[in-house]
Every structure is written in structure tokens, then in C-alpha cells.
Amino acid sequence: MKPAPPAWERVASPTPGAINAVTFTSPASGWLAGESGLLRSTDAGLTWAAVSSQSNKPSYGVSAVDPLRCWVIDSAAINRTSDGGVSWEPSLVSVPEGGRLCVIQMLSATRGWVVGTGGVLYTTTNGGIHWTLVPLSTTRTLRGVYFADPSRGWAMGDHGTLAATQDSGATWTVWTFTGAWPWNWDRCC
């Protein structure tokens, strides 16, 4: 007989504001992006500490590939660290005026994707030093991006917008729901 899986345990929020994203690279090492800034845990989320250079700035998205390398979105900027958050460097990304980045997914230390308002989709092949805009046939806000493997990925957004690739992002097919959309996602990004 298999033992029962551990039960979920409710814990107090480590931040006074909203939690926007969380990622773990191991059972112990995690990062949390929130309205009050970026937090880091090294004990499976039992305790969280503010990342000093990123604290007090709202963070909207976070992705990490190991305990040292992490990328965080704060509105129209992407910052990256390779030393566990001791130091941070800005990435070169050109977000349209008034635009906002929402979600980031790094597939490896070099390859990643970011989505945001206005239907923007950016990709990097050099660890986020530079980001390249990927043209899509939508201007609707994209609020999620997910790659199952390096070839197959999806970006999701407002009004049922879905973009899909099967060739590592070389080409994208975009579908958009055209009827009345019953949900309001304004809070998400």
C-alpha cells in the first residue's frame, strides 16, 4: 500500500501585498514576486527574505532555472541575477510606451519568453541580456506563456487569445475568441 501524499498546509502570506508569481528550482529554493517586491526562500517556503535590490518595487513575474539564476519582471523591465540575488543587471528590452510585461518563462539559462500588454511576446537566446520582439497577429494582452519543451509553446491572453508554436517560436498561430467574453482579467497584469 502506498503512503498518503502529504497534506497541504495553510501558511501566512510572507508579503503584505498581492502575490503575483512564484517559482521553485528545487524543493528548498524558491522565489516569489509580489506587489511588495521580490522574496527568496531557501527552506521550502517556511521563511522568506526580501531581495534587497529588488525590494519595495512591485514584481509581476519571476522565473529561475537554478538557485543562482533568476529573472524578474517589474512593470516594463526585466532584471536578472546569476549569483542568487546578490547583484542584478537590467536586460535590454524595448517595451512600448505605457506597456507592461506580465509573465516570464525561462526554459534554460539562455532561452526564455516574456509576454505582456498589447500582445507583446519577446524571446531571448542569451540569458536575457537582449530580448527580441516576436511579431504576433494580436494586440490583446497576453497574460501567460508556457513551453512544454523547447519546441512546443503557448501564449494565452485576453478574450480567449491563444498563440501556439511547434517550431521553437519560429512561427506562431494565433486564435482569438470573437464572442462576448464573460471574464475580466484586469487584475492579473
Condensed to tens digits (0 to 9), the pLDDT of residues 57-87 reads 889 999 999 999 999 998 778 999 999 999 9
Give me the pLDDT at residue 120, please.
Answer: 93
Give me the pLDDT at residue 176, please.
Answer: 82
What's the average model confidence in pLDDT over 28-56?
87
- Alpha-carbon distance 176 to 164, whole Å? 12
The C-alpha cell that represents 6 in the structure block: 502529504
Burial track 32-41 (b if 16+ CB lie within 10 A, e otherwise): bbbebbbbbb
Angle, CA of 43, 49 and 54, to the nearest 5°: 130
Give me the pLDDT at residue 83, please.
Answer: 94
Condensed to tens digits (0 to 9), the pLDDT of residues 117-161 reads 999 999 999 999 999 999 999 999 999 999 999 999 999 998 889
Cβ atoms of 38 and 62 closer than 8 Å: yes
Sheet holding 132-133, edge to edge: 101-106, 112-116, 121-124, 132-133
Dihedral sign computed on CA atoms, order 98, 156, 92, 131 = negative
